Amino acid sequence: MAKHATPLLDQLESGPWPSFVADIKEEADRRRKNEKNVTYQIPSDVCDDLLGVLELSYTDGTTHWKHGGIVGVFGYGGGVIGRYCDQPQMFPGVAHFHTMRVNQPAGKYYKTDYLRQLCDIWDMRGSGLTNMHGATGDIVLLGTTTPQLEEIFFELTHNMNTDLGGSGSNLRTPAACLGESRCEWACYDTQEMSYQLTMEYQDELHRPAFPYKFKFKFDGCPNCCVASIARSDMAFIGTWKDNIGIDQEAVAAYIGGELKPNGGAHADKDWGAFDIQKEVIDLCPTECMWIEDGKLKINDRECTRCMHCINVMPRALRIGNDRGLSILVGAKAPILDGAQMGSLLVPFIKAEEPYDEIKEVIESIWDWWMEEGKNRERLGELIKRQGLAKCIEVVGLKPVPQHVLEPRHNPYIFWKEEDVTGGWQRDIAEFRKHHQR
């Protein structure tokens, strides 16, 4: 029997789609019955009260959560987000309902016993409700009380060999695509790099001192499966310098229909025979492909690594062999000034351990942002405020054509004294020989 009547929430279960309300009710029921005899360390009616406070919010049209707080685990400034109900007498089960962020494994590989262990901890010490995964990529554990935080932290770190993730003005939990473990298009080992940089920058992850959040994401190729170009302050996107490999026999097999395009995806409908001209060549954004004497040709100098041709004909086309990554900076969500995609900072860099060159880029960006960034200013906003040219300068790079998005609309170039031969000084007598007053 439900603790609270929830007629408004019940409506959310009436659609054809899965409902979080049904899930929470299921967990509330499970906790009520407690068939596994779990020694619950937080109120067993936490899920009932969660439904109750949500119903009240629907009725009132306002939230009953107080967000944020001083709660955390010792020595860490991130990983726990305090949340309190502003009607604790009515809903004591959710008087404290803190969120914990847990660092997900690179590429999100789990063993079932790991997930069981995680769920057992959370059933006993939390609400049993999780979000797999949060937008940044963490395992999100929803709802526990303050006394349980250190207990959960101990179990995660000592028994599960994992750690809390980032929150607040921290480096957020880095996220990687599954990379070389499963994908033939990975241009570098994304999981390894995510792991190594996570270990290197533990202090930045757990002890906040940035102006605002900062996200790393690692994509093995420009397909960007973890959306690094759109969702990380610093995106590491795999790329290559040489040519796309072409297997002309396989190209012919795609044209002849022996091989299915897109690895057989879109098989739910008859889309007709594969048309390489229409479906690949004409869709190339830089028009760098053509058929000559029955063979596919690519002008690789013009290729911008959109990946479309490789995605459509994976047996025929391969990423190049001289592989590394591009670094893009400044992507962010639209809270201020609209959403921004990342801007290219480093066109190509090798991704080899110990990643020293890459760390130099990261740390020079952080030094600049920490000095110049305003409170709650994302890196992308600082770049917009001071200009990409400044960002390029602080990293110690020379501007290259790849940094140019479009022909400039500002006609002024501000030279610096060191850029001009002879500086600002000149021999006025010599000048007057050629120029009258």
Partner 1 sequence: MADPKDIVVEFMQSKAKSKSKFYFNDLAALFPEMKMREAKKIINKLVTDGVLVYWSSGSTTMYGLPGAGKQAGAEGED
Nearest to 305 by CA among 245, 374, 363, 240: 240
- Nearest to partner 1 of 199, 273 (CB atom): 199
Among 165, 179, 211, 380, binds partner 1 (CB under 8 A): 211
Least Cα distance to 378 among 157, 169, 221 occurs for: 169
Give dist(CA 147, CA 231) in Å, integer. Answer: 34
Q: Does 153 bind partner 1 (CB under 8 A)?
A: no
Minimum Å gap between C-beta 235 and partner 1 is 20
Binding characters for partner 1, 101-140, by CB under 8 A (x = yes): ----------------------------------------
| Span interacting with partner 1, options 29-37, 66-74, 223-231, 288-296, rule CB under 8 A | 66-74
Binding region for partner 1 (CB under 8 A) out of 125-133, 150-158, 249-257, 371-379? 371-379
Question: Using CB under 8 A, which of the segments 192-200, 258-266, 292-300, 366-374 binds partner 1?
Answer: 366-374
Which residues share a beta bridge with 324? 239
Burial category of 279 from C-beta neighbours within 10 Å (exposed 0-12, middle 13-18, buried 19 and up): middle
Given 19, 69, 114, 183, the residue binding partner 1 (CB under 8 A) = 69
Q: Which is nearer to partner 1, 222 or 373 (CB)?
A: 373
The residue with tokens 């290559």 is 240
Residue 168 near residue 67, CB atoms below 8 Å: no
Secondary structure letter of residue 278 according to DSSP: H
Q: Do 221 and 142 contact (CB within 8 A), yes or no?
A: no
Q: CA 46 to CA 396: how far, in whole Å?
A: 53
167 binds partner 1 (CB under 8 A): yes
Task: Report if residue 339 touches partner 1, rule: CB under 8 A.
Answer: no
The Cβ-side half-sphere exposure at 402, using a 13 Å CA radius, reads 16
Q: Which residues contact 35 (CB under 8 A, 6 or more apart)?
A: none
Q: Which of 182, 241, 350, 376 forms a contact with partner 1 (CB under 8 A)?
A: 376
Q: Binding-site residue total for partner 1 (CB under 8 A)?
A: 37
- Tell me which of 2, 5, 135, 370 binds partner 1, using CB under 8 A: 370
Task: For residue 81, state whether it binds partner 1 (rule: CB under 8 A).
Answer: yes
- Residue pair 329/236 in contact (Cβ under 8 Å)? The answer is no
User: How far is residue 283 from each of residues 20, 276, 387, 394, measured CA to CA in Å?
Assistant: 40, 10, 33, 38
71 vs 288 by CB, closer to partner 1: 71
Which residues, 6 or more positions from 2, have their beta carbon under 8 angstroms from its beta carbon? 25, 28, 48, 51
Stretches 22-30, 76-84, 337-345, 404-412: which one binds partner 1 (CB under 8 A)?
A: 76-84
Q: Which two tokens stand for residue 330?
A: 């400044």
66 in Cβ contact with 99 (< 8 Å): no
* Contact with partner 1 (CB under 8 A) among 43, 72, 93, 179: 72
Q: Does 92 bind partner 1 (CB under 8 A)?
A: no
Near partner 1 in 398-427, by CB under 8 A = none
Backbone φ and ψ for 205, nearest 5 degrees, come out as: -75, -35
44 vs 169 by CB, closer to partner 1: 169
The interface with partner 1 within residues 272-331 (CB under 8 A) comprises none
Taking the complex as a whole, the smallest distance from the CB of residue 168 to partner 1 amounts, in Å, to 3
Among residues 210 and 240, whose Cβ is nearest to partner 1?
A: 210
The yes or no reply on residue 82 touching partner 1 (CB under 8 A) is yes
Find the farthest-apart pair of alpha carbons in the chain and give their distance in angstroms, rounded.
101
For 68, counting Cβ atoms within 10 Å of its Cβ (0-12 exposed, 13-18 middle, 19+ buried), the class is exposed
Residue 436 touches partner 1, criterion: CB under 8 A = no
Looking at the Cβ atoms of 72 and 324, the one nearer to partner 1 is 72
Whole-number Å distance between alpha carbons of 226 and 218: 7
Candidates 121-129, 161-169, 345-353, 381-389: pick the segment binding partner 1 (CB under 8 A). Answer: 161-169
Q: How many residues does the chain have?
A: 437
User: What residue type is 223 in one-letter code?
Assistant: N
Contact flags string 169-208 toward partner 1, x per CB under 8 A: xx--------------------------------x---xx
Would you tell me which residues interact with partner 1 (CB under 8 A)? 66-72, 74-75, 77-78, 80-82, 84, 96, 99, 146, 167-170, 203, 207-213, 366-367, 370-371, 374-376
